[in-house]
Structure 1
Amino acid sequence: MIRFLQVLLLFVSVAAYGQTITGKVTAGEEGLPGVSVIVKGTTSGTSTDVDGLYRLDISNFSDVTLIFTYVGFTTQEVAVGNRTVIDVSMVEDELQLGEVVVTALGIEREEKSLTYTQQTVDGEDLTKVRDVNFLGNLAGRAAGVQIQKSSGGPGGSTRVQLRGNKNLTGDSDPLFVIDGIPMVNRKGGQPGMWGGVDGGDGISQLNQDDIESISILKGANAAALYGSQGANGVVLITTKKGQAGQAKVTLNSGVTFESVLLKPDLQFKYGAIGGIKESWDTNPGNYDDNYVDDFFRTGVNFINSISISGGNERTTAYFSYANTEATGIMPNNDYGRNNITFKQSTKLLNDKLTIGSSVMLSQEKVENRPAAGYYLNPLTGLYRFPRNGAIPQYDPSLGLQGYEFFKNNPTFLNPDRNVEEMNWFVTDHHQSNPWFLLEGQPSVNLTKRAIASVNLNYQFNEKVSVAVRGNLDYADKLQETRYASGGNTTNVHPNGRWDYSKFQDQLTYVDAILRYDDNFGDLNLGVIGGATYQKRVYGLGVSVNTGTNGLLYPNEYYFQNLPDNVAVDSDLASRDVKQGLFINTVLGYRDVVFLDFSGRTDWSSTLVGTGNENYFYPAVGLSAILSEMLNIPEPISNGKVRLSYSQVGQEIPFNQIVPSNTVDGSTGGVNRASVAPGDGLKPEIVTTLEVGTHWDFLDSRIGIDFTYYDITNSDEFFSVPALAGSIYNTRVINIGEINNRGVEIILNATPVYNNDFEWSTALNFSRNINKVVKGDPNNPDNWINTGSSEGYFARFKEGGSIGDLYTLSFVRDDQGRIVLGTNGAPRKTGDNPESTDLNFRGNLNPDFILGWTNNLSYNDFALSFMINGNFGGLAVSKTEAMLDEAGVSQRTADDRDQGFTAINAVSSEGNPVSQIDPELYYRTIGGRNGIMEPYVYDRTNVRLTQVALSYNTRISTIPISFSVVGQNLLFLYIDAPFDPELAMSTNRNSPSLDNFNVPATRNLGLNIQVRF
């Protein structure tokens, strides 16, 4: 790579000599970057740099005419003559004054013609502060978009939700699209309350430096042309492509250092009594308070890329390579990814035919993804370890104290079995030796992925064109975890355990699109019609999970060592085929009023046999540019109103119409499907009404956009008991209905703008209200659990909302005082016949979300920062409950210092009580089955999300940018003792739940960008 860069730099240096033309291209008073400058009749050319400057060698030509082209501006041809300096002022093309945005199917339209809201995030904004998974950088940059990152370390998944939860029994993930074509973003496995790891997602495997922009189509109105898979909204990713002119090379190199930002507040003053596992001694000591901090390492993230773009008037090409290497804060957690992208476009047949192709290759390897949950998680043993290390196995002759002994001696040899076994002070399924788990359960996730596409576009004339596109998204995945023998036998057999899977995900997509555009006097007509074919096959492969059945011989991980009652499974997560026909018509009047019609019919394989295999859904919208229709006062630059209504169908998931039988690996017998065939099922229907308006003031220095939406998901699929006398246990019917309504407000302004200093700012506000309108009509009190365990119940029913939280709580009298039992301990709901088992605490989702971005520039310096806030909602920590029970939280030490825990209670005899024994109190409310009420927190948090300070300079003619960057730097306000936006799991079952999650982190680092 170094030699390659040296050659490139030498080439640039040599090219600087000879007869050259230099100059500056401007728009108004500002330099215009990216303008194509080509010698007419040749393929020789260049592009302007970030300041609008260009340099072009013309020593091999005579009678030279230069062609200056830029999107949105009229093309200019300038004869050189004897001049060596040519400055050009570009003029906007009046026909293209409306901002062009990418919409459904990757088709570009003028923003003013859209009848729905759409926000676009520039790729450079996403990569100012670079992250291993760039999608987290969308947080706060678009209204109505909720982002939640996994606590699963580098390569963990990210939850993206647009305008609320929309499904009774599943996630509400949007569709991800690359250059107009759907892609696979299937998540891997997710941890639960009892353990597991985050398996990552597909979107994190992309090269972020390839991204030109991301457009958010939030509602079904905007996504209707994508069919049912766009019912939850669409995230459109537009990637960079080759530009005509001299080859341009861009180098990006960055490193960030990751450290713990927020972890539990632990005590190191009180130890255990004797050899017990909890630290409830009341006599203070002087114990090691560094081993928790020392356990976590400084994570280092390297992200480096190079791209080359160039071409001529007929053929352009783009190539990039990126390498990402990261080490998480958890020991042994390493991440690596390589990306290669190649795109080309060629014009033939007098520029009527355009042939384009692209290949995106990636290889991702993740070692030792960190766990969450109770079991097989190093953090449970790390946090709960007795502070004095008073344990039977301790040998003072080794010169090691407490925890250090187990760190340096995680195993011991069992001579009877001749295997190494875990060295730990107690047999406890809640905790194991952290270093035994790190070394004794190595895991690897390897993904090799290819996204290949071909597209042909034939322009018959200025009015009619046809395009055909084909795409294959294929991923080969290997996932393996080896659990050593001799550990905790609750989850691992004494001979060890082996989890292995190898499978493929594949999406095949083809579409054909006919486009017609014409003018009829004051009318503009645009029609798009086409057909699509899509086939998805996910999770096709084989797997082995020995579970508690173990292995024949210890620590031998291969198929021949499987017990007879463990089978090699043939897997298929889902498979479906969908075909569709669609049409979209936009009718404009005098370029100020636009009427938009869409219609689509789909045929889905998952509905075969129901009589509802095909389904039609329409969309209609209206927008009007009031600023061009009415006599608007001068301070108003632009004014627009919009209204849209749509319906989108959504087919039933795989394996519901004709459920499959399974083979029992332990017996070899056939397990018949327990779900009745879904005869008569019909698609879910998503109905969306959206009203909005946009206004600009003071020559567009100030802008405001307001949107109100109402989304109803009806005929939701719901599982109910099978009919009496049926051989099945359950059946799926269409009954549910969910409503989401909310507002989105976008404010943007440029308070300062002059030759030296510029400040632009934007504020995104969103609020969503969710309601379950209909549940099971035969049982309206039928609860739907989305994440429940031992005092924590995220569940809802008719009349409630997705994300409602119920917990075991204190029993209280009519004065609100905590009622104590005969043993003096607080009573919890469930042990009192007169109280309900669970109390409603509120909803886990935030009431509203704010994102505030700022960009300031002064001469060659630039500063950008972002502040994000989630306001309202609830967060829950099982971690804190477990730490209290073990006596290792700081509050348990504080109460022992004062000799009591303050309480507003009443005894079983009815006497007021203001003090209680700390150990009795925390052992009662803490642990897995305690009282969760004290561990429910306000989810509200405000943080400094990103900061980037840049200096832009030149070395000779080469522009270079140096940046100091920071991410997740500090909390301006937080109530919970953990980061509520760092999820244990990125499915909807456990939002803002902490159960021994990896701690929140902050990143600090440097970026360098070189362009030549």
Structure 2
Amino acid sequence: MKKSYFKKIKSMHWVGVLTLILLFPIALFAQSGQISGVVLDGSNNEGLPSVTIRVKGTQKGTTTDVSGNFKIEAAKSDVLVFSYIGFKTQEVVVGNQTTLKIALAIDDLTQLSEVVVVGYGTQRKEAVTGSVISVSGDKIREIPAPNISQALQGRMPGVEMSQTSTKPGATMQIRIRGTRSLSADNNPLIVLDGIPFPGSLADLNPNDIKSIDILKDASATAIYGSRGANGVILITTEKGQKGKKPKISYNGYYGTQSVFSPYPMMDGPTFAKFRKDAGLYSNGIDETDNINTNWQDLFYRDGVMTDHSLSLSGGTETGNYNFGGGYYYNQGVIPTQDYGRYSLRGSIEQKVNKFVKVGFNTNSNYNFSNGNQIGVGGILSATPISNPYNGDGTLKRTFKMALDEQFTVTRGVVEDLKDVWLNENKGYASYNSFYGEVNIPRIEGLKYRTNLGLDFIQNTSGNYTGEGINNVNPTTISTAGIGNSHTYHWTVENILSYDRTFAQKHNLSVVALYSAEQNKYNRSSVAAKGIPSDDFMYYNLGQATGEITVNPNDQDYQMWGLMSGMGRVMYSYNDRYMASATLRSDGSSRLADGYKWHTYPAVSLGWNIMKEPFMVPVAGLTELKLRVGYGQTSNQAISPYATLGRLSTRPYNFGPTNYAVGYYVSTLPNKNLGWEYSETWNAGLDFGLLKDRLTGKLEYYITNTKDILLGVGLPATSGVSSYTANIGQTQNKGIELDLNGSIIQNKGGFTWDAGVNFYLNKNKLVALASGQTRDEGNAWFVGYNINAIYDYEKIGLWQEGDANLTKFEPGGNIGMIKVKYTGEFNEDGTPKRAIGAADRQIMNVDPKFQGGFNTRVTYKGFDLSLVGLYRVGGILISNVHGPNGYINLLTGRRNNIDVDYWTADNTDAKYPKPGGIQSGDNAKYASTLAYFDGSFLKIRTITLGHDLNKSLLKNSDIKMRLYATVQNPFVMFSEFHKESGLDPETNSYGNENVATGGYQRRLLTVGYNTPSTRNYVLGFNLTF
């Protein structure tokens, strides 16, 4: 028994030894060691902070620091799991590795838009609580356009891009959620790579843009304080990627332009009959009824547009770079009109050590434009029965109509005179920013950054008109003028930020800012008569033999400064509950002592309802987030020195030959001038359906703008007409809807995406000065839209048998314009008074609603896309049809728009009978002829493209795309276009014709500007 026991013990001993021998290598392999490494963003090789690293199957884990570095204890057999929101989760077996370099890939294409720029930082789209809308540079480049504003038109709800000119190089008027101020600038702030941008969007090459983010509500824009009252456009340019080999990209296109539609002027036979119907004028010396001259055919030329951009980008392990250059040129359809731009840009970012990096961005351009003195007014008014040719076939210098003599202007004449009849504009601008950033050691997530912006803008203009040029008198003295302007702008920003994620659920972002900026501007111009030689052009004006004029109104110097402090806190819990709070204070040199500073708060909240545990899954619903925000912004609504009084000069006569220049008070000082400021409430709902195949945003906002700066009228005995004070108030409110859908997702190589947006903005004037309810001179009426017309309302034409014609219109006749009567009637049905000024109506110009749409279909490397915009309601003002254009006088003195006019045999006509002159060569109530329903739907572009790396180059690193685009192919649902054939988009300001006063400048019109064009473009993109 004892022996058996010892045998058993001995047996167990050998079993234990054998077990230890078998387990030894396993134990050895399982020994823990320290693993270190870095986690990078695979798209740009930047270190990713706050990445979660976990040993699979355990609770052991850590996170990366601000540079993406990490350390963790792990055994060789362990699997490390790397996870970060917006990126694909990656698993790595430790094995024999002690150092790891992990590059996380973006989760999917939808995640490319997950991060948006929100001002002094970025924020994941899921955590945004304000009203922000973004568009990528690739989307911008889908439309071959010379500037960004044209490429953005119709793509963003609440952002209205309106044409103010159709000349080559013209930019658009931008309004974000309507017009707030009556007298101040309503343009949004532009921020380029984090620095306030003093230039124009025309200065930027669209090929250099990586993304554009637009901040619309005050909770988002308050971070920019007084600069953000009208919204903020944040532009981020392309940069290189660390650790990537050099990449060369070329983008180019060439296109032709033709007139979208000539102005619908009468031809010879039509005009001859029209003049007889008017019965006012007989033919002039050079007019014959059997002549039919198409002046527009003799004038317009084919336009050309071309664009070329080349860039080089890449990076090292510690830095990145991007350099590029571009050239754009547009030869317009009007002779000698053109626009060109050369652009250069560069960016360099370099890591000095693990804590410090520095960088530099520069954008410079040189641009030029010519031919702005050439208009179409003379061509349109020339009668088609005028003969511009001599008997030998040469052009006459001038030709005579019934009462007018005109200088003969054709395409050949203008081009031959280009050196003695010119208007040139040249501009150079350089926008530069330098920055340094320090990751504070031992405090994860804390960074300090300083930005320095240095900008310089120079513009030179010159004009010269030789002797007898563009004048019926061949000995008219020559004239010339030259002007220069310079802008110097600097900005310094000191930013302290803290970004940290705690326990994988609590995301905290804190920003503190102190900044200062200064702007200096000077402008001067000189004009002269009697230039000794055409070779002088507009140079050497001191040699002029005639008068040399230095107009005080054409000389200017301004300097202003702004100092600011700001703090912002953004917090998110598990992407379920979000909050943001901002406080900013600005001090402006423009305002009076005691009123220079203003502080404004902003707060916004977000609730991602789909993240709630109690949320019952709803069929098809994948995203549902509610946002609400409140904020204040303000506006430096006055020019520098407006708080001070102003003296102006005036000549005083002492007898018939003697005079002296004296000074008088032209502006009274007001040391109480303060800020215009706005309060905005915003509510938004973000939603996604069918696994986010359909996504959308619905927004509602209301903005009250107070203390608007307006002129207060003074009695004539004061010697000054008015002074400026804070006394006005306006309100804007509206709804915006943005929908984007993936209708077909890669079904047999076929995809179809589409988007549509809708927005309406209603504004009204809430208060004017001193309790006034109306200012008829400016067409401002309390309770009505800011953009209003105060005029009669045309309801038809007077016809034979119409009751009370002579009572409504004493001395009136049939065939004349009939307007609405708003007065009272007697018991017998007769009016108590004649139609008069009391019958003028307040009419709203703005549309009921508007928006844009786009769609894109792809199939095995081929793509077809379309972009358009629409407008419903409102009033389109046509200076072409109204009295201000001189080409719808309905008299026969000059050529006339080809309109359906009243005769005894055509009583159903829209326009009055010809010859019914009231005053100033115009028919009574002629202004009403300018008003059309503003509705239209316009296709902006149709593009067909082919991606060659999906076919011929599919096994190559070369990317190549060819495309063809037609711009402005057609217009639908437009009363104005149906009648005239013209583009219903505006192209002029309301005061286009200053000789007749016109409409308020703020009202955009269709005028006799350079005609709109239809463009045909072939493009080519190459990257290798």
TM-score of the two chains, using structure 2 as the length reference:
0.78
For 2:314, the equivalent position in structure 1 comes to 310
Native 8 Å contact 1:250 1:1009 kept in 2: yes
In the alignment, the residues of structure 2 paired with residue 429 and residue 677 of structure 1 have an alpha-carbon distance, to the nearest angstrom, of 49
**Which residue identity lines up with residue 383 of structure 2 in the other structure?**
P
Native 8 Å contact 1:496 1:554 kept in 2: no
Question: Deviation digits for residues 682-730 of structure 1, max 9, x if unmatched?
Answer: 2111110000111101110111211000011100000012478645332
The match for 2:811 among 805, 810, 821 is: 821
The match for 1:528 among 511, 527, 531 is: 511
Aligned-residue offset at 1:541: 3.1
Aligned-residue offset at 1:387: 1.8
**Which residue identity lines up with residue 379 of structure 2 in the other structure?**
L
Aligned-residue offset at 1:665: 9.8
The match for 1:935 among 930, 937, 947 is: 930
For 1:233, the equivalent position in structure 2 comes to 231
Native 8 Å contact 2:381 2:895 kept in 1: no
The match for 2:642 among 635, 656, 681 is: 656
The yes-or-no answer on 1:124 pairing with 2:138 is: yes
The match for 1:951 among 920, 943, 946 is: 946
For 2:247, the equivalent position in structure 1 comes to 248
**Which residue identity lines up with residue 1018 of structure 2 in the other structure?**
L
For 2:183, the equivalent position in structure 1 comes to 169
The yes-or-no answer on 1:760 pairing with 2:761 is: no
The match for 1:454 among 434, 439, 447 is: 434
For these two proteins, the number of residue pairs brought into alignment is 876
Aligned-residue offset at 1:650: 1.8
For 1:876, the equivalent position in structure 2 comes to 877
Over aligned residue pairs, what C-alpha RMSD do you find?
3.9
Aligned-residue offset at 1:278: 9.1
- Measured at CA, do residues 961 and 99 of structure 1 come closer, stay the same or move farther in structure 2, by a change above 3 Å? closer
For 2:621, the equivalent position in structure 1 comes to 636
In the alignment, the residues of structure 1 paired with residue 451 and residue 860 of structure 2 have an alpha-carbon distance, to the nearest angstrom, of 45
**Which residue identity lines up with residue 614 of structure 1 in the other structure?**
W
In the alignment, the residues of structure 1 paired with residue 322 and residue 429 of structure 2 have an alpha-carbon distance, to the nearest angstrom, of 19
The match for 1:647 among 626, 632, 640 is: 632
The yes-or-no answer on 1:796 pairing with 2:816 is: no
Aligned-residue offset at 1:267: 2.1
- Measured at CA, do residues 668 and 890 of structure 1 come closer, stay the same or move farther in structure 2, by a change above 3 Å? closer
For 2:55, the equivalent position in structure 1 comes to none
The match for 2:574 among 586, 590, 599 is: 590
- Measured at CA, do residues 703 and 665 of structure 1 come closer, stay the same or move farther in structure 2, by a change above 3 Å? farther
Native 8 Å contact 1:153 1:370 kept in 2: no
The match for 2:585 among 594, 601, 623 is: 601
Native 8 Å contact 2:899 2:911 kept in 1: no
For 1:909, the equivalent position in structure 2 comes to none
The yes-or-no answer on 1:355 pairing with 2:358 is: yes
Aligned-residue offset at 1:938: 0.9
Aligned-residue offset at 1:798: 1.5
The match for 1:442 among 410, 422, 439 is: 422
Question: Deviation digits for residues 939-997 of structure 1, max 9, x if unmatched?
Answer: 11111111111101146522210001111111022211333323213998253413312
In the alignment, the residues of structure 2 paired with residue 566 and residue 560 of structure 1 have an alpha-carbon distance, to the nearest angstrom, of 13
Question: Deviation digits for residues 86-138 of structure 1, max 9, x if unmatched?
Answer: xx9966579x9795433343411112222212111111111122112231121
- Measured at CA, do residues 36 and 711 of structure 1 come closer, stay the same or move farther in structure 2, by a change above 3 Å? closer
Per the alignment, in what secondary structure is the counterpart of residue 178 of structure 2?
coil
The match for 1:383 among 373, 380, 383 is: 380
- Measured at CA, do residues 735 and 828 of structure 1 come closer, stay the same or move farther in structure 2, by a change above 3 Å? farther
In the alignment, the residues of structure 2 paired with residue 219 and residue 493 of structure 1 have an alpha-carbon distance, to the nearest angstrom, of 60
**Which residue identity lines up with residue 501 of structure 1 in the other structure?**
G
The match for 1:147 among 161, 183, 194 is: 161
**Which residue identity lines up with residue 323 of structure 2 in the other structure?**
F
Aligned-residue offset at 1:583: 0.3
Aligned-residue offset at 1:649: 2.0
**Which residue identity lines up with residue 939 of structure 1 in the other structure?**
G
Native 8 Å contact 2:283 2:401 kept in 1: no
**Which residue identity lines up with residue 159 of structure 1 in the other structure?**
Q
Native 8 Å contact 2:279 2:915 kept in 1: no
Q: Percent identity among equivalent residues? A: 23
- Measured at CA, do residues 430 and 111 of structure 1 come closer, stay the same or move farther in structure 2, by a change above 3 Å? farther
In the TM superposition, 1:745-894 aligns within 5 A as: 745-754=737-746, 756-783=749-776, 785=778, 795-807=779-791, 819=809, 821=811, 826=816, 834-836=835-837, 839-840=840-841, 842-881=843-882, 882-885=886-889, 887=892
Per the alignment, in what secondary structure is the counterpart of residue 227 of structure 2?
helix
Native 8 Å contact 1:676 1:729 kept in 2: no
- Measured at CA, do residues 520 and 968 of structure 1 come closer, stay the same or move farther in structure 2, by a change above 3 Å? same
The match for 1:566 among 549, 556, 560 is: 549
In the TM superposition, 1:321-360 aligns within 5 A as: 321-350=325-354, 352-360=355-363
In the TM superposition, 1:202-221 aligns within 5 A as: 202-221=200-219
For 2:25, the equivalent position in structure 1 comes to none
Aligned-residue offset at 1:930: 5.6
In the alignment, the residues of structure 2 paired with residue 867 and residue 594 of structure 1 have an alpha-carbon distance, to the nearest angstrom, of 35
The yes-or-no answer on 1:399 pairing with 2:400 is: no
For 1:319, the equivalent position in structure 2 comes to 323
The match for 1:111 among 93, 102, 125 is: 125
Native 8 Å contact 1:892 1:922 kept in 2: no
In the alignment, the residues of structure 1 paired with residue 905 and residue 913 of structure 2 have an alpha-carbon distance, to the nearest angstrom, of 6
Native 8 Å contact 2:917 2:923 kept in 1: no
In the alignment, the residues of structure 1 paired with residue 84 and residue 465 of structure 2 have an alpha-carbon distance, to the nearest angstrom, of 59
In the alignment, the residues of structure 1 paired with residue 557 and residue 405 of structure 2 have an alpha-carbon distance, to the nearest angstrom, of 31
- Measured at CA, do residues 437 and 1007 of structure 1 come closer, stay the same or move farther in structure 2, by a change above 3 Å? closer
In the alignment, the residues of structure 1 paired with residue 530 and residue 1011 of structure 2 have an alpha-carbon distance, to the nearest angstrom, of 34
- Measured at CA, do residues 388 and 71 of structure 1 come closer, stay the same or move farther in structure 2, by a change above 3 Å? farther
Aligned-residue offset at 1:807: 3.1
For 1:374, the equivalent position in structure 2 comes to none
The yes-or-no answer on 1:368 pairing with 2:371 is: yes
In the alignment, the residues of structure 2 paired with residue 720 and residue 431 of structure 1 have an alpha-carbon distance, to the nearest angstrom, of 46
- Measured at CA, do residues 856 and 668 of structure 1 come closer, stay the same or move farther in structure 2, by a change above 3 Å? farther
**Which residue identity lines up with residue 393 of structure 2 in the other structure?**
G
Question: Deviation digits for residues 441-476 of structure 1, max 9, x if unmatched?
Answer: 311110011011101111114320011001112111
The match for 2:449 among 454, 460, 467 is: 467
**Which residue identity lines up with residue 688 of structure 2 in the other structure?**
D
Q: Which has the larger Rg?
A: 2
The yes-or-no answer on 1:991 pairing with 2:1021 is: no
- Measured at CA, do residues 566 and 868 of structure 1 come closer, stay the same or move farther in structure 2, by a change above 3 Å? same
**Which residue identity lines up with residue 399 of structure 1 in the other structure?**
G
Aligned-residue offset at 1:851: 0.6
Per the alignment, in what secondary structure is the counterpart of residue 115 of structure 1?
coil
Native 8 Å contact 1:806 1:838 kept in 2: no
Aligned-residue offset at 1:933: 1.4
The yes-or-no answer on 1:682 pairing with 2:682 is: no
Per the alignment, in what secondary structure is the counterpart of residue 246 of structure 1?
coil
Per the alignment, in what secondary structure is the counterpart of residue 920 of structure 1?
coil
For 1:22, the equivalent position in structure 2 comes to none
- Measured at CA, do residues 608 and 775 of structure 1 come closer, stay the same or move farther in structure 2, by a change above 3 Å? closer
For 1:542, the equivalent position in structure 2 comes to 524
**Which residue identity lines up with residue 260 of structure 2 in the other structure?**
L
The yes-or-no answer on 1:510 pairing with 2:524 is: no
Native 8 Å contact 2:571 2:578 kept in 1: yes
Per the alignment, in what secondary structure is the counterpart of residue 837 of structure 2?
coil
In the alignment, the residues of structure 2 paired with residue 665 and residue 871 of structure 1 have an alpha-carbon distance, to the nearest angstrom, of 53
In the alignment, the residues of structure 2 paired with residue 780 and residue 917 of structure 1 have an alpha-carbon distance, to the nearest angstrom, of 35
Per the alignment, in what secondary structure is the counterpart of residue 150 of structure 2?
helix
Per the alignment, in what secondary structure is the counterpart of residue 642 of structure 2?
coil
The yes-or-no answer on 1:697 pairing with 2:689 is: yes
Q: Structure 1 unaligned runs (5+)?
A: 1-32, 39-67, 82-87, 186-201, 372-376, 411-421, 786-794, 905-914
Question: Deviation digits for residues 835-881 of structure 1, max 9, x if unmatched?
Answer: 11672262222221121111111111011101210111111222234
Q: Structure 2 unaligned runs (5+)?
A: 1-40, 47-81, 96-101, 653-658, 822-832, 992-999
Aligned-residue offset at 1:1005: 1.0
The match for 2:303 among 299, 302, 307 is: 299
- Measured at CA, do residues 485 and 927 of structure 1 come closer, stay the same or move farther in structure 2, by a change above 3 Å? farther
